[in-house]
Structure 1
């Protein structure tokens, strides 16, 4: 929501806004009670910064998690235009019709998720800016840039196959997919336009970083990369997926970190993390099942809903465990604890080749008292 200032330098007025009334969701996606009002004070405006971020103590400290994520992003910079896609067209032509169909459904779904997030991230960036955290500001700017690259790379891949204008039909009938992206994710992020509270940030982070990027996107990228590697196909797409997955794990690590610092600051925020996860987890699971349902039990490439859901739940459990371990700790300590990044490296190594491992048996129950 864009509002004009009466004159430069005047503070934003406190606003009392009603809880949203969404059809079929009387409690606002579980985040508010009907009729409850909240006072929102916007504390970012022209000429009223939180000092000059680069010269404050926070700006100088090099070991915060967002600062490390930003530096890692710079070190792992990649350009979609540098990826050679010539072999991918021949590989695609050699697939069976059902294999080609599943390939398009999967990659189109991932591209739709990335583009949806790209459109809706601005309120999150603005909300974090109100806290005077320059490293988070820098990293979120990089995150938005990376999402734009992901969309460019996947569109270029479809273009190399001559299918750039034929993508909507692969996701048009996916009701669960559209609901999590166009309703739950979009609404949760745009709530931040007027509500910058830790609770609103947690709900947005769980929806965006953990359920969309972590549960859905990373799970599918990991499984698809393994299929391509085992079949020896799509060398260009493999390279794209490798870059995107590395970026996405940084994005998810930031989400875990954000939840950790809010839980450390106020232990009641732990309940918000678990409640929002419980609200969205069934829908996220349905999205994976919905994607493979048209192919029946014998889906191409021997990919299964059970495999995808098992892997995704394992990752959710690990991240919830990391957030829970921030309870009772000092915020300054959590700010410098790189545990979320180490966790993503561990998950990537574990799920890249799960031969002989039953991931379902290692899932941390969502309701478990960690």
Structure 2
């Protein structure tokens, strides 16, 4: 069981210098990997992107900007919304987690900066509010579900509240929506051999996001290992949000009718996303019945994200499908 502590004025501890700290727990490894992967948005060359963007049709430009705007929304929400999670980790005396989350918040702000710089470079920055705020499902996702689950941590640091927040932000917002947009946008750049600056930004953001998703998987795994009653909470929150994620992707593609630019389809976007959700659920399920202390140093969530990255949109096998949830509205 984790210890709790008073984090008010005059109560800060110095646990990081204590002896007996077990080496390389998951959050500390994620922090080290993030440090090694540091990148500066201002170093990315965007000189060719404006010319490439000008060659796209209006529909192609619109869809590209929709992907970018939704990624900016995810990045800009993190500095405010995730502060509650940082506090919850500090209160639970999980210093490595609190430290890693501060890096995560920084990276999300960095992502938003990089993508806004790209919009400036192609002359579309003035249109960002229209792209980012035009959909009802978009507003429900960011202003209701995301805010509600994370701000609940202000007064409730329980495992159930942490699981709901991790599933919402790390698995659905980042793992399902953001990484799906990353994959689609990167595919556009690669298949058409265009927008090299945007591709460079997206590749770097995707690598960061996979670390973020891995932390969400790890957090759910440690709570499920500590108490098997937490496993249904993971499943229920995932089931609640998957239909909303599907609606949000559908909302982005709806203006284009059955023939979206670049050959993008709803089925194509969701098939890989659902497969990845199922694999992450499998990883959490595998923590059931294990010692919670062992989960801290089990790097399975990071290995899984590496496997998902390499697998791309390859065919599923039976093991991959076994915990993918049916998309339906909860009764």
The answer to whether the superposition gives a TM-score over 0.5 is yes
**Deviation for aligned residue 1:136:** 0.8
Among 125, 145, 159, the alignment partner of 1:184 is 145
Structure 1 unaligned residues grouped into runs of 5+: 1-40
Q: How do 1:267-346 residues align onto structure 2 when only pairs under 5 Å count?
A: 267-346=228-307
Query: Aligned in 2, Cα 1:224/1:364: closer, same or farther, shift over 3 Å?
Result: farther
Q: Is the Cα contact below 8 Å between 2:278 and 2:325 reproduced in 1?
A: no
Q: How do 1:17-166 residues align onto structure 2 when only pairs under 5 Å count?
A: 43-49=6-12, 51-57=13-19, 60-166=21-127
Among 150, 167, 172, the alignment partner of 1:211 is 172
Q: 1: CA distance between counterparts of 2:37 and 2:317?
A: 29
TM-score where L is the length of structure 2: 0.93
Query: Aligned in 2, Cα 1:52/1:358: closer, same or farther, shift over 3 Å?
Result: closer
Q: 2: CA distance between counterparts of 1:304 and 1:86?
A: 30
Q: 2: CA distance between counterparts of 1:218 and 1:151?
A: 15
Residue number in structure 1 paired with 2:329: none
Give the secondary-structure state (helix, strand or coil) at the position aligned to 2:78.
helix
Structure 2 unaligned residues grouped into runs of 5+: 327-331
Tell me the matched-pair count: 323
Q: Is the Cα contact below 8 Å between 2:49 and 2:194 reproduced in 1?
A: yes
Residue number in structure 2 paired with 1:226: 187
Of Structure 1 and Structure 2, the greater helix share is in: 2
Q: Which moved more, 1:217-226 or 1:75-84?
A: 217-226
**Deviation for aligned residue 1:118:** 2.8
Give the secondary-structure state (helix, strand or coil) at the position aligned to 2:133.
coil
Give the secondary-structure state (helix, strand or coil) at the position aligned to 1:195.
coil
Q: 1: CA distance between counterparts of 2:6 and 2:325?
A: 36
Residue number in structure 2 paired with 1:244: 205
Larger radius of gyration: 1
Q: Is the Cα contact below 8 Å between 1:274 and 1:366 reproduced in 2?
A: no
Query: Aligned in 2, Cα 1:295/1:240: closer, same or farther, shift over 3 Å?
Result: same
Higher relative contact order (CA 8 A, sep 6+): 2
RMSD: 1.8
Give the secondary-structure state (helix, strand or coil) at the position aligned to 2:293.
helix
- 1:34-84 per-residue CA deviation (whole Å, 9 max, x = no partner) reads xxxxxxx983212223x41212357x3332000100000000000000001
- 1:201-226 per-residue CA deviation (whole Å, 9 max, x = no partner) reads 00000000000000000111012212
Q: Is the Cα contact below 8 Å between 2:168 and 2:241 reproduced in 1?
A: yes
**Deviation for aligned residue 1:297:** 1.0
Q: 2: CA distance between counterparts of 1:171 and 1:240?
A: 19
Q: Is the Cα contact below 8 Å between 1:310 and 1:360 reproduced in 2?
A: no
TM-score where L is the length of structure 1: 0.84
Give the secondary-structure state (helix, strand or coil) at the position aligned to 2:39.
coil
Residue number in structure 2 paired with 1:31: none
Q: Is the Cα contact below 8 Å between 2:5 and 2:92 reproduced in 1?
A: no
Give the secondary-structure state (helix, strand or coil) at the position aligned to 2:48.
helix
- 1:314-370 per-residue CA deviation (whole Å, 9 max, x = no partner) reads 01000000000000101111100000000000001111x54xx368994334459xx
Residue number in structure 2 paired with 1:364: 322
Q: 2: CA distance between counterparts of 1:147 and 1:62?
A: 27
- 1:216-243 per-residue CA deviation (whole Å, 9 max, x = no partner) reads 0011101221221111011000100011
Residue number in structure 2 paired with 1:262: 223
Q: 2: CA distance between counterparts of 1:126 and 1:185?
A: 17
Q: 2: CA distance between counterparts of 1:42 and 1:191?
A: 19
Q: 2: CA distance between counterparts of 1:332 and 1:143?
A: 23
